[in-house]
Structure 1
Amino acid sequence: MEKPVLMIHGVGCGGDAWSVVAPLMQARGWTPYTPTLFPQFRVKENPTGQLATLGLHDYVEAAKAEALAIERATGEEPVLMGHSMGGLIVQKLAEQGVGKAAVLVTPAQPVDCQVQDLRVLFTFANIVLKGDPRQTYKVWKTGFRWGVLNQVPAARHHDIYASALYDSGLVYQHLGKPMTDPHRIAVIDEQAIACPILTIGAVQDRATVIQAVRKVAQKYARIGGDYREYDGAAHWIIDEPRTVDMVGDVCDWLHRKGL
């Protein structure tokens, strides 16, 4: 029996962000699916104007379509695993009853768990300063290296940044100012979530800071959710020295949940 896991990437990233995690999961018996949301619009250079029309709701619907397609193809409901923005998408899908379990890796926060922090503002400074949701953006290289890759060896920064994608300014606004989103994606009713849920935090994270991720964990602890926290790790825990530890813990947790 296939054990599918749908991995949903973060903002400014594609499915290739899971290139380390996916084979580690596969070695433990899981079948990883790592799509890139809207690959025709979310590109490395010269994005079209259509990208700027997409909101966070569109990304949720695209991820939901992927999950349902996996279930139709395999006969098995997938585990949902989301990094950063993907972590918020997974929360919304879990609220809607999609997925047999939810794993939130350094997730973007629901509205009731957000923390204002200068580290986040610096990481995304080029987007914050421009502040126009009608535009498209790629996170500036300095911010990405300082705020996302700060636990990755510096020699690897150039190659990782080379895979960064342009993303919708409207999506960035819905993440940073969630109450501007008419679909209220970041408003999550944890009591509506029936599946097991695991939150993963990284102490040195400068993009989804640990104080905020701990609040996410506390939110889901109210419904029996679990939490793992990693010192010596940061936002790019999907490809850092502690990635192997994190994936092992995720697989062990899924096993304990009978999945």
Structure 2
Amino acid sequence: MSAARKTIVMIHGMWGGGWYWDNYRRFFEAKGYQCLAPDLRYHDMPANQMPLAKLGATGLLDYAADLEIEIRALPEKPILFGHSMGGLLAQILASRDCAQAAVCITPAAPAGILSLRYSVLKSFFGIFTRGAFWKHAHQLDYERAVYAMMHKLPDAERRAIYNRCGWESGRVMAEIGLWPLGFKGAQVDASRVTCPMLIVAGAEDRITPASVVRKVAQKYQPRSTYMEFAGHAHWILKEPGWEKPAAQIAAWLEAQ
């Protein structure tokens, strides 16, 4: 897949924004790709500002609908990159024929794949134990964010990144983690995914464990390729040595 004039739409994860992708954006733009990294709905607010009440009730399909409008306006189908929750959104959009290829990096799992491991429950425990949490927006406290996502980042970078993280929809968390209880939104029909899929895991990921990510890759066989990186965890986009996974993703794209 030649980089010439190809567009990559980069979809960020929970509590984040397009800034998640700074390293990857520079890396892939240097290879000739046009990179777009939109903020999801209500995610362009300062992290220290109280969220809009609407955010708490916003669901995955709301995010997907916004992204689909942007994607359909492009001159051709883009390559989708998605990290964490964004990786699940990339799967949903791929099932809508919105991608010529999709790269799902430490992705959240779709409905049908049980993701509630001990480390996942520990990461979300403070949120899941709040009454009717799925009706409100939430932040992760700093210590829990470090445990869940930032433990492979240098100490000096953790606080700076955390300070940029904002609020996230409780409804989205329920749709991803508690689909067995009837929450809808995370369903993906694998038979409708016809583009090549690259599924990337970090061997030390606590919030989207590699054992879960492997099952995501299995869901899309034979169209999927699985890569797992030792020494990396959830924030693989910014962890020391991030260039190696980025280079292997680039090589996979060029081989398509």
TM-score normalised to structure 2 length: 0.93
* Distance change in 2, residues 1:135/1:39 (3 Å): closer
In the TM superposition, what whole-angstrom CA distance separates every residue of 1:69-110 from its partner, at most 9, and x where no partner exists? 3x1xxx232100100000001101111111110100000001
1:7 — aligned with what? Answer: 10
Asked whether 1:249 is paired with 2:253, we answer no
**Which of 49, 53, 57 pairs up with 2:53?**
49
Q: What secondary structure, in the 3-state scheme, does the structure 2 residue paired with 1:112 have?
A: coil
Report the residue type matching 1:154 in the other structure: D
Q: What displacement does 1:112 show? A: 2.1
Once the two structures are superposed, the pairs formed by residues 111-122 of structure 1 within 5 Å of their partners are 111-122=111-122
1:140 — aligned with what? Answer: 141
* Distance change in 2, residues 1:40/1:114 (3 Å): closer
Q: Is the 8 A contact 1:205 1:235 kept in 2?
A: yes
In the TM superposition, what whole-angstrom CA distance separates every residue of 1:222-249 from its partner, at most 9, and x where no partner exists? 2331011100000000111231011111
1:197 — aligned with what? Answer: 197
Report the residue type matching 1:77 in the other structure: K
Q: What secondary structure, in the 3-state scheme, does the structure 2 residue paired with 1:130 have?
A: coil
1:76 — aligned with what? Answer: 76
1:65 — aligned with what? Answer: 69
CA distance in 1, matches of 2:39, 2:172: 15
% identical aligned pairs: 32
Q: What displacement does 1:11 show? A: 1.0
Report the residue type matching 2:103 in the other structure: V
Asked whether 1:24 is paired with 2:27, we answer yes
Q: What displacement does 1:206 show? A: 0.5
CA distance in 1, matches of 2:192, 2:211: 24
Q: What secondary structure, in the 3-state scheme, does the structure 1 residue paired with 2:129 have?
A: helix
CA distance in 2, matches of 1:149, 1:86: 17
Once the two structures are superposed, the pairs formed by residues 44-193 of structure 1 within 5 Å of their partners are 44=47, 45-69=49-73, 71=74, 75-131=75-131, 132-179=133-180, 184-193=184-193
Q: What secondary structure, in the 3-state scheme, does the structure 2 residue paired with 1:32 have?
A: strand
Q: What secondary structure, in the 3-state scheme, does the structure 2 residue paired with 1:237 have?
A: coil
Report the residue type matching 2:34 in the other structure: T
CA distance in 2, matches of 1:40, 1:204: 27
Gaps of 5+ in 1: none
CA distance in 1, matches of 2:233, 2:26: 21
Following TM superposition, the consecutive aligned residue runs of length 4 or more in structure 1 with deviations greater than 4 angstroms are 40-43, 179-182
2:209 — aligned with what? Answer: 209
CA distance in 2, matches of 1:201, 1:247: 12
Gaps of 5+ in 2: none
Report the residue type matching 1:9 in the other structure: H
Q: Is the 8 A contact 1:202 1:233 kept in 2?
A: yes
Report the residue type matching 1:25 in the other structure: F
Report the residue type matching 1:244 in the other structure: E
Q: Is the 8 A contact 1:12 1:167 kept in 2?
A: yes
Aligned length: 251
Report the residue type matching 1:13 in the other structure: G
Q: Is the 8 A contact 2:116 2:177 kept in 1?
A: no
Q: What displacement does 1:113 show? A: 2.1
Q: What secondary structure, in the 3-state scheme, does the structure 2 residue paired with 1:22 have?
A: helix
TM-score normalised to structure 1 length: 0.92
* Distance change in 2, residues 1:40/1:253 (3 Å): closer
Question: Aligned-residue CA RMSD in angstroms?
Answer: 1.6
CA distance in 2, matches of 1:254, 1:185: 29
